[in-house]
């Protein structure tokens, strides 16, 4: 199997953008007013909670790649009963919250790029899931997207 066939480039890009966002949060000046800092912190902590809970609910199915594990199964309980791709939602909530807490053009730009990359990655994952699980189409019809215009 060649590098990239399972969506590895998305994972490289995702962790690269998260690393750059971490550096921007650490090394760039913040122009965030106190009220926005509080809101951002709440979103960031909420995002981390969603991310960790969704990862725990995936259990042995958890992978950073968009392509599901060969021995995996379709998780349709917990957060996955309510929304598709809750880990991506958690990452985005953390990124947006962190950007609001430490407001500047770099954090906003990197959060926007991460949003676009995760949108594309989720679209690829949707295709892999449809190929792998025959009942994914009905799951997709039942479970809504968190944000209607993505994936």
pLDDT in tens, the chain (151 residues): 687 789 999 999 999 999 999 999 999 999 999 999 999 999 999 999 999 999 999 999 999 999 999 999 999 999 999 999 999 999 999 999 999 999 999 999 999 999 999 999 999 999 999 999 999 999 998 987 766 555 5
Rounded to the nearest 5 percent, the helix, strand and coil shares of the chain are 70, 0, 30
Q: Is the pTM of this model over 0.85?
A: yes
CATH code for the structural domain at 8-142? 1.20.120.1630
Tell me the C-alpha distance between 50 and 36, whole Å.
Answer: 21
């Amino acid at each position: 199997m060649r590098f990239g066939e399972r969506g590895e480039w998305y994972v490289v890009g995702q962790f690269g953008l998260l690393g750059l966002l971490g550096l921007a949060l650490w090394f760039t000046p913040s122009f965030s007013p106190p009220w926005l800092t509080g809101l951002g912190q709440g979103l960031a902590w909420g995002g981390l909670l969603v991310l960790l809970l969704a990862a725990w609910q995936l259990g042995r199915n958890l992978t950073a790649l968009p392509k599901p594990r060969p021995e995996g199964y379709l998780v349709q309980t917990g957060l996955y009963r309510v929304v598709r791709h809750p880990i991506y939602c958690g990452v985005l909530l953390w990124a947006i919250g962190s950007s609001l807490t430490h407001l500047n053009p770099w954090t906003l730009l990197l959060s926007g790029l991460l949003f676009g990359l995760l949108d594309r990655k989720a679209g690829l994952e949707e295709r892999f899931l449809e190929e792998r699980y025959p009942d994914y189409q009905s799951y997709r019809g039942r479970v809504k997207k968190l944000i209607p215009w993505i994936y």
